[in-house]
């Protein structure tokens, strides 16, 4: 089939690369415009754009898809000229308006990293880890007006490991999901796919803000563990010590440790323990302001405020 691929970040690159290995023809990609990043704030193409350019594929970068706008109308004209049979989508990041939904005979087919209708929305991988789900997966579905409500074309499942961060799980799903998306395109071409309406009670995974990532040490230890892993690496789970905000990497449960108050620190030889609402955990890495991630014990040994209070028997606590 003639395909136009819509996607932006690294997980979408995995799917585009897989589609390039099939017999389908990628005639163009739609991606977000170049963005400024790094210390020099120079413009960089999206990961999808960079891969498309490597393969000599036309790149379309509208700032909006809304009808009546210059970018929106230019995109509509180009879609009509390219005449795609399907538009596979992976984390594109722009609203697809109602009038564009029928721009291809097979529509816009989204790869979503959950088993729909579970975790509709912007952050399904993070939500599944935070909720303590044992199983998640990926779904392909035809996009319609509602939020991730369209008929499902295919699914794959993936077990969530006790140590998975959002990055770990998303990486695995990006690869298994890419296979699912390629199989879905094959099935649409051959006419063998039978779409299924979503059934069951939906759950929702809202877009995560930095404030959402703050650690509540009063929560049970297992909940704190899942919270931190679900926000790693981005936006990064964080807490406050004095006037400093620190990012906190994945932790380990310490069920045999002597009790501590919620948020209270105990610094021992090679370990930093923290109390939660239902037990003690051990910190792995922390990132102090203006520095890189570092071993928590090394950070504590080099923190004068912590050492000073510890030496005088004062309580040291995160908030």
- Same CATH topology for 2-205 and 211-311? no
Element (H, E) at 25: strand 25-30
Structure tokens at 65: 């898809």
pLDDT in tens, 219-253: 999 999 999 999 999 999 999 999 999 999 999 99
Reference 57, options 20, 99, 96; nearest CA is: 20
pLDDT number for residue 268: 87
Q: How far apart are the first and last CA of the chain?
A: 55
- pLDDT score at 309: 73
pLDDT of 312 reads 65
* Domain 2-205: CATH architecture, name and number where available: 3-Layer(aba) Sandwich (3.40)
Report how far residue 316's alpha carbon sits from residue 86's, in angstroms, rounded to the nearest whole number: 58
CATH number, domain 211-311: 3.10.25.10
Q: Identify whether the C-beta of residue 277 lies closer than 8 Å to the C-beta of residue 217.
A: yes
The two tokens of residue 198 are 């979503």
Residue 88 half-sphere exposure, CB side, CA atoms within 13 Å?
36
What pLDDT, on the 0 to 100 scale, is given for residue 165? 98
Question: Residue ranges of the domains in the chain?
Answer: 2-205, 211-311
pTM of the predicted protein model:
0.95
Look at phi and psi of residue 74 and say left if phi exceeds 0, alpha if psi is from -120 to 50, else beta.
alpha
Give the Cα separation of 26 and 15 in Å (integer).
12
Q: Enumerate residue ranges in the chain where pLDDT < 70.
A: 310-313
Backbone torsions φ then ψ of 299, nearest 5 degrees: -60, -45
**The predicted structure's pLDDT at residue 305:** 80
Per DSSP, the three-state class of 47 is: helix
Q: What is the pLDDT of residue 310?
A: 65
Strands 108-112 and 87-90: parallel
């Amino acid at each position: 089939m003639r395909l136009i691929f819509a996607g932006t970040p690294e997980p979408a690159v995995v799917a585009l690369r897989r589609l390039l290995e099939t017999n389908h023809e990628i005639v163009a990609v739609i991606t977000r415009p170049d963005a400024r990043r790094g210390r020099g704030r120079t413009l960089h193409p999206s990961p999808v754009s960079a891969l498309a350019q490597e393969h000599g594929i036309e790149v379309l970068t509208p700032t909006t898809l809304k009808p009546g706008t210059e970018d929106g109308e230019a995109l509509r004209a180009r879609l009509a000229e390219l005449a795609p049979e399907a538009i596979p989508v992976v984390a594109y990041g722009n609203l697809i308006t109602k009038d564009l939904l029928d721009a291809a005979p097979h529509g816009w087919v989204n790869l979503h990293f959950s088993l729909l209708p579970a975790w509709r929305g912007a952050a399904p991988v993070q939500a599944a880890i935070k909720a303590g789900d044992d199983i998640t997966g990926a779904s392909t579905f035809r996009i319609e007006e509602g939020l991730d409500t369209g008929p499902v074309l295919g699914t794959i499942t993936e077990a969530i490991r006790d140590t998975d961060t959002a990055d770990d799980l998303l990486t695995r799903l990006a690869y298994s999901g890419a296979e699912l998306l390629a199989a879905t395109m094959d099935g649409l071409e051959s006419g063998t796919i039978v779409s299924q309406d979503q059934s069951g009670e939906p759950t929702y995974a809202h877009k995560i803000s930095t404030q959402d990532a703050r650690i509540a040490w009063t929560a049970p230890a297992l909940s704190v563990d899942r919270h931190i892993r679900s926000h790693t690496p981005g936006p990064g789970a964080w807490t406050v010590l004095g006037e400093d905000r620190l990012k906190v990497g994945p932790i380990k449960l310490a069920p045999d440790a002597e009790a501590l108050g919620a948020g209270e620190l105990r610094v021992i030889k090679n370990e930093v323990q923290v109390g939660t609402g239902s037990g003690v955990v051990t910190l792995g890495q922390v990132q102090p302001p203006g520095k890189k991630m570092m071993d928590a014990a090394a950070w504590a040994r080099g923190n004068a405020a912590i050492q000073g209070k510890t030496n005088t028997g004062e309580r040291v606590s995160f908030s």
